[in-house]
């Protein structure tokens, strides 16, 4: 009985020690894995917060060497402007004790070439794995060294290689787990290097503004250095010194009101009232009272006397915007004021003398309006003392980068850094049609700054926020659609087939507009990538 108890006690002791060892081993393994996971997360955080590639690679190589207990580590990135196509970060504390650095570098570069050409990992965990290498020269080089283990991994995303990681040991080996860990780190490095290179490219392109624009060229808050705008500025300077009636002509959004304001600010009447009225914005039945004012009781609702815009502009300047929309009846009354410098309020009989400078503006062809009887010729001659023709934004493309810079400063809000645009983004803005001229550009810049968080704006940002004007061709009218449907039905068709045919054509044209980019196409027409991939395969559309 005593012997049995002793045997049971001994077995229990052995089991307890074994169990304790298993627990401790598991604990240390978990601790090791936790450290490795922590390192990966640390690398990801570090990588995301730095812009310089060499600093990023230094962090990766340093952590990788410690994590795998390697004797040497080299991380290289592929660069188009490098003489040998590669730029490296080489960190190693023990190499001088083991072998000649240049000889080791030769072996590593041979592995790098293998990684970049075959785009597959090279994993030599121990000397028995050397035979896996099908490059005889590399094999002989490795066997002749004291190296016992070496691993190389291509840093790639979607089969595009951005660089390589090569790490190795002397008289030590790697495990399968080490190889897996290196693969995970290479994926993190690939994403990080790609993002860093993109960021570096954006900042390089953003030098466009730093090198080419040192000072915003403007004239009384009108931006422009193009010959046509310089010509406009000269006319404004000369016209401002006189009281000659000026009519500012140009498309909507070209800045006609800014020109009127500049004329006022540079004139001898600059300290007097500057009264503006938009003839297109006020209902015709209210326009006369708005312009001339009215006496108390002149009409129902006229409970008090009202001073009109003409009277308010006495001694100053009256700006009639969109004068082409003024009714013929009101044109007659305005003509009398310009001829006699007197008028009466609505409901009044007493003539009121006024002295003001008239500036008008229109986006209409007044000569054509005169021809069809919608604008008086005699009034036209009165207001057309000096015409100023404003060019469309299409006619002054060289001013777009100045306007973008100015508007970016205007709408930067609370951002510390200046908003900048890459060369490709600027090219996209310059090539845009801008049917709404400067006003359309201003609205887009405001929208971009509101929607985009980063301080450097790319062409993709603009594309996403403002897709190109070239839309899928639409029918010009509902009648065209009805006629098409009727003809299709008469010819005989199945609705599903017709819908599929239209959808295929729609997707093909969308992809053409987006340069065959699935991502841009999804953003443009508002569908998920999975949906687009399904439909592309369904209709056998080539990408």
Closest alpha carbon to 255 in 93, 480, 442, 512: 442
Are residues 50 and 163 located together in one domain of the fold? yes
| Same domain for 231 and 125 | no
Query: Can you give the residue range of the structural domain that contains 425?
Result: 393-460
- Predicted local distance difference test score (pLDDT) of residue 216: 46
Q: Which of 389, 417, 440 is the last residue of a domain?
A: 389
Beta bridge partners of 61: none
Q: Are residues 178 and 50 in the same domain?
A: yes
> What's the pLDDT at 307?
94
Task: Give the chain's domain count.
Answer: 4
Q: Where are the alpha helices (DSSP H) in 171-240?
A: 176-205, 207-212, 227-240
Residues 383 and 358: beta-carbon distance below 8 Å: yes
DSSP codes joined into one string, 144-174:
TSSEEEEEEEEEEETTEEEEEEEEEEES---
- 536: tokens are 């592309």
The string of DSSP letters for 259-290 reads: HHHHHHHTSTTTTS-EEEEETTTS-HHHHHHH
Other beta carbons within 10 angstroms of residue 242's beta carbon come to 13
491 membership: H or E segment, kind and range: helix 478-491
Strands 222-223 and 246-249: unpaired
The C-alpha R_g of the chain, in whole angstroms, comes to 38
Handedness of CA 39, 43, 49, 52 (dihedral sign): positive
Of 540, 475, 476, 464, which is closest to residue 508 (Cα–Cα)?
Answer: 540
Q: Does the residue 468 lie in any domain?
A: no
Residue 79 sits in the same domain as residue 188 = yes
Cα→Cα distances 539→203, 348, 504, 514, 518, Å: 41, 75, 6, 18, 15
Ramachandran class of 172: left when φ > 0, alpha when ψ lies in -120 to 50, beta otherwise: beta
Closest C-alpha among 327, 322, 338, 341 to residue 376: 327
Torsion sign, CA atoms 344, 345, 346, 347:
negative
> Is residue 472, in this structure, part of any structural domain at all?
no
210 located within any domain:
no
Residue 218 lies in a domain: no
11 shares its domain with 121: yes
Give the residue among 70, 200, 183 at the shortest CA–CA distance from 122: 183
What is the C-alpha separation between 176 and 406, in angstroms, rounded? 58
Angstrom distance (rounded) from CA 124 to CA 149: 5
- Describe the strand order of the beta sheet including 86-91 as a list of residue ranges: 86-91, 72-78, 160-170, 147-157, 122-124
Domain presence at residue 220: no
Q: Are residues 64 and 114 in the same domain?
A: yes
Q: CA–CA separation, 70 vs 163, rounded Å?
A: 19
**Domain end call among 365, 389, 413:** 389
CA–CA distance, 74 with 58 (Å, rounded to integer): 9
**Does residue 455 contact residue 409 with C-beta atoms inside 8 Å?**
no
Whether 263 contacts 317, CB under 8 Å: yes
- Tokens 């601790």 locate to 31
SS3 content of the chain, % helix, strand, coil (to 5): 55, 15, 30
β-pairing, 456-457 with 147-157? unpaired
Q: Give, rounded to a whole angstrom, the gap between the first and last alpha carbons of the chain.
A: 84
Pairing of the two strands 147-157 and 160-170: antiparallel
**Would you write out the chain's pLDDT as a tens digit for each of its 543 residues?**
555 554 545 554 544 454 445 434 443 444 455 455 555 555 554 444 444 566 767 777 777 777 888 888 888 877 654 444 444 544 444 444 445 677 777 778 888 888 888 888 888 888 777 777 776 677 777 766 777 888 888 888 777 788 888 888 888 888 888 888 888 878 877 777 777 666 666 555 544 444 444 444 668 889 999 999 999 999 999 999 999 999 999 999 999 999 999 999 999 999 999 999 999 888 888 899 999 999 998 888 888 999 999 999 999 999 999 999 999 999 999 999 999 999 999 999 999 999 999 999 999 999 999 999 999 999 999 999 999 999 999 999 999 999 998 999 888 877 767 788 888 889 889 988 898 899 999 999 998 988 888 888 888 888 888 765 443 344 444 555 666 676 667 666 667 777 877 888 888 888 877 777 787 788 788 888 778 877 887 777 876
Contacts of residue 73, Cβ cutoff 8 Å, sequence gap at least 6: 61, 64, 65, 90, 91, 92, 165, 166, 167
**In the listed set 334, 362, 389, which residue is the last one of a domain according to the structure?**
389
Torsion on CA atoms 510, 515, 518, 521, rounded to nearest 10:
-40
Residue 469 inside a domain? The answer is: no
Q: Number of C-alpha atoms within 13 angstroms, CB side, residue 14? A: 6
Both 414 and 490 in one domain: the answer is: no
pLDDT in tens, 165-189: 888 888 888 888 888 888 887 887 7
Q: Under DSSP, is residue 111 helix (H, G, I), strand (E, B) or coil?
A: helix
Q: Which residues 6+ apart lie within 8 Å of 149 measured at CB?
A: 124, 125, 126, 127, 168, 169, 172, 173, 174
Residues 435 and 384 both lie in one domain = no
Among 198, 122, 116, residue whose Cα is nearest residue 156: 116
Rounded to 5 degrees, φ, ψ at 15 are -65, -40
Q: List the CATH number of the domain containing 37.
A: 3.30.450.40
pLDDT of residue 98: 46
Place of tokens 């190109």: 468
Q: Residue 373 in contact with residue 211, Cβ under 8 Å? A: no
- Same domain as 77, residue 193: yes
Q: Are 180 and 274 within one domain?
A: no
169 and 69 within one domain: yes
Strand pairing report for 72-78 and 160-170:
antiparallel
Closest CA to 133 of 116, 146, 152: 152
Q: Do 49 and 188 have their domain in common?
A: yes
Positive or negative: CA dihedral 343, 345, 351, 354: negative
Task: Write out the two tokens for 542.
Answer: 């080539």
> How far apart are alpha carbons 151 and 166 in whole angstroms?
6
Which pLDDT score, from 0 to 100, does residue 471 have?
Answer: 37
> Which residue reads 């009044």 in tokens?
348
Is residue 211 in a domain? Answer: no
What does the alpha-carbon distance between residue 379 and residue 320 come to, in Å, rounded to a whole number?
13
In-domain check, residue 213:
no
pLDDT of residue 152: 87
CATH number at residue 507: 1.10.10
């Amino acid at each position: 009985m005593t012997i049995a108890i002793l045997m049971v006690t001994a077995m229990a002791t052995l089991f307890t020690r074994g169990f304790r060892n298993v627990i401790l081993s598991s604990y240390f393994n978990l601790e090791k894995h936790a450290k490795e996971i922590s390192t990966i997360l640390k690398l990801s955080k570090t990588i995301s917060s730095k812009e310089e590639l060499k600093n990023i690679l230094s962090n990766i190589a340093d952590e990788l060497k410690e994590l795998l207990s390697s004797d040497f580590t080299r991380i290289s990135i592929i660069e188009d402007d490098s003489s040998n196509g590669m730029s490296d970060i080489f960190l190693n504390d023990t190499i001088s004790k083991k072998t000649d650095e240049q000889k080791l570098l030769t072996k590593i570069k041979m592995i790098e070439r293998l990684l970049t050409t075959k785009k597959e990992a090279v994993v030599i965990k121990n000397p028995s794995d050397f035979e896996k290498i099908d490059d005889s020269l590399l094999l002989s080089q490795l066997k002749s060294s004291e190296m016992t283990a070496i691993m190389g991994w291509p840093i790639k995303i979607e089969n595009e290689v951005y660089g390589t990681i090569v790490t190795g040991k002397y008289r030590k080996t790697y495990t399968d787990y080490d190889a897996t860990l290196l693969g995970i780190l290479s994926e993190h490095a690939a994403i990080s290097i790609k993002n860093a290179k993109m960021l570096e490219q954006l900042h390089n392109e953003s030098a466009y503004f730093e090198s080419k624009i040192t000072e915003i060229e403007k004239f009384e808050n009108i931006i422009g250095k193009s010959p046509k705008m310089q010509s406009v500025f000269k006319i404004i300077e000369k016209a401002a010194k006189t009281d000659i009636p000026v009519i500012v002509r140009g498309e909507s959004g070209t800045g006609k009101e800014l020109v009127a304001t500049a004329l006022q600010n540079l004139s001898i009447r600059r300290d007097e009232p500057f009264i503006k009225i938009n003839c297109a914005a006020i209902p015709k039945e209210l326009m006369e009272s708005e312009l001339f004012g009215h006496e108390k009781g002149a009409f129902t609702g006229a409970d008090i006397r009202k001073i009109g815009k003409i009277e308010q502009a006495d001694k100053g300047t009256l700006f009639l915007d969109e004068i082409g929309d003024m009714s013929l009846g009101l044109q007659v009354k305005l003509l009398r004021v310009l001829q006699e410098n007197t008028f009466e309020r609505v409901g009044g009989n007493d003539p009121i003398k006024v002295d003001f400078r008239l500036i008008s503006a229109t986006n209409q062809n007044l000569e054509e309006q005169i021809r069809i009887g919608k604008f008086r010729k005699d009034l036209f001659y009165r207001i057309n003392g000096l015409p100023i023709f404003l060019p469309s934004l299409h006619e002054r493309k060289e001013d777009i980068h100045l306007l973008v810079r100015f508007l970016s400063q205007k709408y930067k809000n609370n951002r510390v850094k200046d908003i900048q645009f890459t060369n490709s983004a600027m090219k996209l803005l310059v090539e845009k049609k801008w049917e709404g001229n400067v006003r359309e550009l201003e609205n887009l810049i405001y929208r971009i700054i509101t929607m985009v968080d980063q301080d450097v704006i790319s062409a993709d940002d603009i594309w996403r926020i403002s897709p190109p004007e070239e839309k899928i061709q639409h029918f010009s009218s509902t009648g065209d659609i009805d006629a098409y449907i009727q003809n299709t039905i008469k010819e005989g068709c199945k609705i599903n087939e017709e819908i599929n045919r239209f959808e295929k054509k729609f997707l093909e044209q969308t992809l053409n507009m987006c340069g065959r980019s699935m991502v841009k196409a999804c953003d443009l027409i508002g569908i998920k990538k999975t949906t687009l991939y399904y439909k592309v395969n369904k209709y056998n559309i080539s990408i």
